[in-house]
Every structure is written in C-alpha cells, then in structure tokens.
Structure 1
Amino acid sequence: MTEFGPSETPAAGEEDLSTTAHRVRLPHDRASDLWTENSPSPLLVESMERWTKALLEDDGYRPIGQTRVLVRARIIAKQAGVLCGSHVVNHLIRTRLPEVQMSWHKREGEQFNVDDTLLILDGAALEILSVERVIINLLGRMSGIATETERWVNRLNGLRVACTRKTAWGILDKWAVHIGGGLTHRLRKSDAWMIKENDQTVLKMDLGESKKEAMKKWISTTDLNNHGAFTVIEVDTISMANVVANAWCNRMMETEENRTLVIMLDNMGPAKTKEAVLDIRSHGYDKWICTEASGNVRFEDLDDWMTAGVDVLSTSSMNMGVRSIDISMLVDESGVRTLPSED
C-alpha cells in the first residue's frame, strides 16, 4: 500500500484539507486478505475456483486428456494495458490441464504493449484449444479493470479511490482493482458493517424515532466487536454527517475505544462534500472519522473531487462497464508436433 507522509500545517487563514488518510491506514484497503505468504489467499483461491468452474461449464468444457498432437500457443495483446488474471489462469491450468506447460512473459501488474506476448502454453492441442476462450475472457476482463483503475489512480495524484460492491465478478473484480492501484473496499458483506439508507429506515421504524435520533441511539449501543474490519455509515446531508460524527466521537471519548468510523457522503457532489469535510474537521471529529465520497463520482469531475478534502473516493466506474483488453491466442506453426504412435 502507498504510505502517505505527514501533511503540512496550513498557514493562517488557509483551509485545512489534510485528510485522515495521511495519518491512518484506510480500512478500505483489504488486499492483505487476498494475498498471504507470497501467494493467493484461500479466500482468493476459492473465488478463482468458483469463477473458472462456472465459466468452463458455461462454455461446455469437458476434460479431454492427452492427445498425440502437441502445440505451442502464444497469448498476445492486441492493446496496451496492465496485466491482471495470471494467477487465475495458473489455477485453471494447474487444476484442469496439469500436463500443459506455462511460460509467462509478463508479470501480474506489469504494463504491456500491442503485440507483446503475455503467456506461452505448450501441450496437447485439444486441451489448450478447449480453454482458449475462457483464458482470453479472464485475462481480457481483469486486465481491462486493472488498466482503467490505473488511469483513475494516476489522474488522482495521491487521493485514494476504492471500488464498491457493485461488481459482476465479485472478489476477482476487486483483485483487479487492487492490481491497478485502487482499494478493494469491503470484500463481502461480513467484511464490514455498513449502515446505508435502507438500514437506517428500518432502524427508524423499529425504534420509533427520527432517523437522526435512531442513528444516535444505534451508535451508542451497538457492539462494535460484531462489525467486522470496519464500520461505514452513509449520510446524504451535512447535518446528518455532523450528527453521526458527534455521536461516534462522544462514544469514543466516553468508552475510551479507538475505532475509526467511515462516513460515506453519498451523492453530495464535490462542493457539498468539501463543506461537510471542513465542518467535520472544524469540530475535531476527524480524530476518529474517515470521510468517503460516493455516488456519481465521474472521471471527468476528478479535478473538483481532488480539492474536496475527502479521504477516499468510491466508485463502480473502474470495474462496471469497463471494456476488456483485446487479447488473442495464436498457435505457432513451428511448435506443432505429433507424438509417435504407441503401436
């Protein structure tokens, strides 16, 4: 993870828009749950297996076994991008085609150019061709997400950006966002306790209180030990942001707990988000509050978001509706050979 240095103290009269992200590790960075001891974690491997199994079955894949005709096939990039999906392909080949040899020419997260060879496969022709489309789809989609994420990260010049749980391929999408330099946010619902609009409506009806009073009561009584890695509360007004921040900080001071709350400023736009952030900071709430801006965060508006002072942006634009990188497989004629007959 990129580590931020200490923020400079602003001169008198300047707005202090240094962020909580300069001082603490953002809880949105869950990549360590996906990579352990220099290899994919059990959580990531389980996701790899679910998706490769589903894609192979949808494509009508059936095990073929060894055949007499052997080939050498190259996976070639037709566009420039950032490679992602090599570990998923490794899992597919090792579990389904263990006799096929792999030679990667690019590493996970490495940039590639048009006509670069990404991977060479060597083995039984029918086995390799039976998984051609699935391999290309995996690498194309995941590399497309990593490439688009890198575009956002480079444009933001240090402001962190996370994906959301609006994903098509779940944890694999989040891994691709991580490879592109973005943050995964929570990996699954149990990873963090998120109180969004619908949850707040249910709390309001259950407690018979206004939404603000319901949230204050919930914050003061909830068992934080059941909240997973972190807690997120969604707000859509500056006044609600202040109510939530005040209630949380009061609890931290009274109980001497030390947990950071993420306040998700939803669909507030850069101007109102900036006002909310300054308000939170002016009360000293930022000691325990991390601010996240979400909803209608667009690439073309990033200049405005970069001056809002928020700790992190979250968007599904890095992984939803992103075009796959154009990748193809070509069999080398010089690599085609036939095993001698057993007769």
Structure 2
Amino acid sequence: MKPFYLTPENLKNFIQAALREDIGDGDHSSLASIPNDAQNQARLLVKGNGILAGVELAEMIFREVDADLKVETLLKDGQKVQIGDVALTVTGKAQSILTSERLVLNCMQRMSGIATYTHRIMDLLAGTKTRLLDTRKTTPNFRICEKWAVVIGGGMNHRYGLFDMIMLKDNHIDYAGGIEKAVKATHEYLKRIGKDLKIEVETRNLEEVKQALEVGGIHRIMLDNMTPATMKEAVAMIGGRFETEASGGITEQTIREVAETGVDFISVGALTHSIKSIDLSLKAVKV
C-alpha cells in the first residue's frame, strides 16, 4: 500500500511546480539547437551502487512533459543496482527528452541516495523489533519525494507534516507549562475541532517519562537524547503502556545499542538531511 500522500494530484502538483521552476518561458537550449520533429532515444545509466528510487516518478515526469514519450523501465524502485546498469529508456521527441532530463535526474539521484542510506541503516537493525522512522527534516517542496524514498528503502514515515499527528516537543511543553497542561490542552483542542489525531510526547529525562505516564491519554513517548542505559530504564517504566521512540544524536555506531534497549521506533533525521546522492545520467542513443 502506498503512503497516503502519494496521490495523483499531489504528484502532479509537485511535478508541474518543479517544471515551471526549471523551464520558465521555454527550454531555449533545446528549442534553438534541435529540430522540432527530431525523434531520439536516451538511456538512464546508473553510475553508483545502491538502491534505486524514483523510477515511477520519472515515468510521470516524462509523461507530464510530453504524453507521447515512450518509457521502458528495466529496473524497479527498491532494486539493488550497480555501476553500468540501465534503469530505463525513453524514446520520442528529442526536445521533450532534453527538457525532462534534469528534473528526472535530480529527483532520482537524491531519492536513490535516501533509499540507499535507509536500507543501510535498516541492516543495522536486523534481528531487533525496532522500526526505523524518518523525520520532518526534509527539503522544502521536496518532502513528497524524500519521504517516498525512505519507504522505498525499507523505512517508515513518521508524521508527514504538522497536520497528521500531534507531537508535543520540548518547546510546546515549556510554553504550555508542563506535560500535564500540554496534554490536557491538546485533548480539549481535539474535542473542540472534532479531530482524532495520535498524540506523542517528547521526554528529556526519567522524571518527564513519569509525568507522561501519570497524565496518560497519549499514544507514544519519545525518549529524546537519552543514553542507552536511561532509555532501557524508561522502556521498563513504560512497560508497554505506550509506544516508545528513541530520537536525538543517534548514529550508525550507536543505533544498534539503542535498538537493544527495547524501543519500538528510532527516528533518524539523517535519512533525509545528510545523504549522498547516487550518480545517474541520461545519455543519448542514436536511432
């Protein structure tokens, strides 16, 4: 099942906005140098090793630019790839292929980098019950692609935005006057507006974990920037009453130890904000 945000409307809006940004009043390089009726083909070449992502999106981009372009996908999203693989071929109007090229590559290179890194972190969690989450630390106007890439890489999305889950973080709690006041105000607000949203509370120490347990009425407790020893104690305190999530400063070197504390989830901002893109290129083929 695809994530809820991958609707035809959302994807079309993203693609159209990205094309407007790039094309402006015309792809003058292609219009100037290539005959309007020229027909050609190009291959999308993989120039790095990893997990491929963005193939389905690439098909949509090509169709949005020119519905007559013919795309043959040779590899699918989520497949392992290596240098020299050909992900797809596109055939049709040469000007349209060239106009599509950069947006296709920009999306697929970054998405493949995110999927590859997500897969790598998932391997570090193998054998534990802990599930890997992304965060809202995404590129503005590119979140739909970055969140999608995490799923392709085997991870899970946290909330998509501010609208689909309540997360009472440290600043919310401090501004509200404490965990109890923040949670009670949240329940009153949700009742008033008629929404049923899951509530997560961030805690910074065992005393705040205790406060979250006492107030109740929540779904998940975040254990933020705690040592593995403290997390293990917190998980024992919570005793399965609520879901648990570890967050803050978790690295490849520490993630396994964190998972072994028994937390249900680990959220890692680096899945989307600190990745290296996979090198890809679109090369002309003479037909």
Instruction: Give the structure-1-normalised TM-score.
Output: 0.74
Secondary structure of the corresponding residue to residue 175 of structure 1: helix
Residue 167 (structure 1) aligned to one of 112, 125, 138 = 138
Measure, in 2, the Cα distance between the counterparts of 1:227 and 1:151: 37
Distance 1:280 1:81, change over 3 A: same
Q: Greater shift after overlay, 56-65 or 142-151?
A: 56-65
Measure, in 2, the Cα distance between the counterparts of 1:291 and 1:93: 42
Residue 67 (structure 1) aligned to one of 18, 30, 36 = 36
Residue 101 (structure 1) aligned to one of 67, 70, 76 = 70
Q: Is the 8 A contact 1:55 1:134 kept in 2?
A: yes
Matches within 5 A, 1:269-284: 269-281=227-239
| Deviations 1:34-56 (CA, angstroms, capped at 9, x unpaired) | 4xxxxxx42xx344334323332
1:53 — aligned with what?
16
Amino acid paired to 1:273: M
Structure 2: gaps of 5 or more residues? none
Give the CA deviation at 1:331: 1.0
Q: Is the 8 A contact 1:196 1:234 kept in 2?
A: yes
Measure, in 1, the Cα distance between the counterparts of 2:196 and 2:280: 39
Q: Greater shift after overlay, 195-204 or 115-124?
A: 195-204
Q: Is the 8 A contact 1:177 1:318 kept in 2?
A: yes
| Deviations 1:31-77 (CA, angstroms, capped at 9, x unpaired) | 5424xxxxxx42xx344334323332332353769922211100010
Distance 1:212 1:98, change over 3 A: closer
Distance 1:309 1:140, change over 3 A: same
Distance 1:214 1:237, change over 3 A: same
1:199 — aligned with what?
172
Give the CA deviation at 1:246: 2.5
2:156 — aligned with what?
183
Measure, in 2, the Cα distance between the counterparts of 1:132 and 1:123: 13
Q: Is the 8 A contact 1:215 1:244 kept in 2?
A: no
2:249 — aligned with what?
296
Q: Is the 8 A contact 2:44 2:87 kept in 1?
A: yes
1:241 — aligned with what?
209
Measure, in 2, the Cα distance between the counterparts of 1:133 and 1:164: 27
Give the CA deviation at 1:201: 2.1
Matches within 5 A, 1:1-343: 32-34=3-5, 41-42=6-7, 45-60=8-23, 62=26, 67-157=36-126, 158=128, 159-168=130-139, 169-204=142-177, 211-215=178-182, 217-218=184-185, 223=190, 226=194, 228-248=196-216, 261-281=219-239, 286-287=240-241, 289-333=242-286, 335=287
Instruction: Give the structure-2-normalised TM-score.
Output: 0.88
| Deviations 1:275-321 (CA, angstroms, capped at 9, x unpaired) | 1111222xxxx23x000011111112123212211110001111112
Give the CA deviation at 1:222: 5.7
Structure 1: gaps of 5 or more residues? 2-30, 35-40, 205-210, 252-259, 336-343
Measure, in 1, the Cα distance between the counterparts of 2:10 and 2:198: 22
Equivalent pairs counted in the alignment come to 276
| Deviations 1:230-274 (CA, angstroms, capped at 9, x unpaired) | 2111111111112112221xx5xxxxxxxx611111111322111
Q: Which has the larger radius of gyration?
A: 1
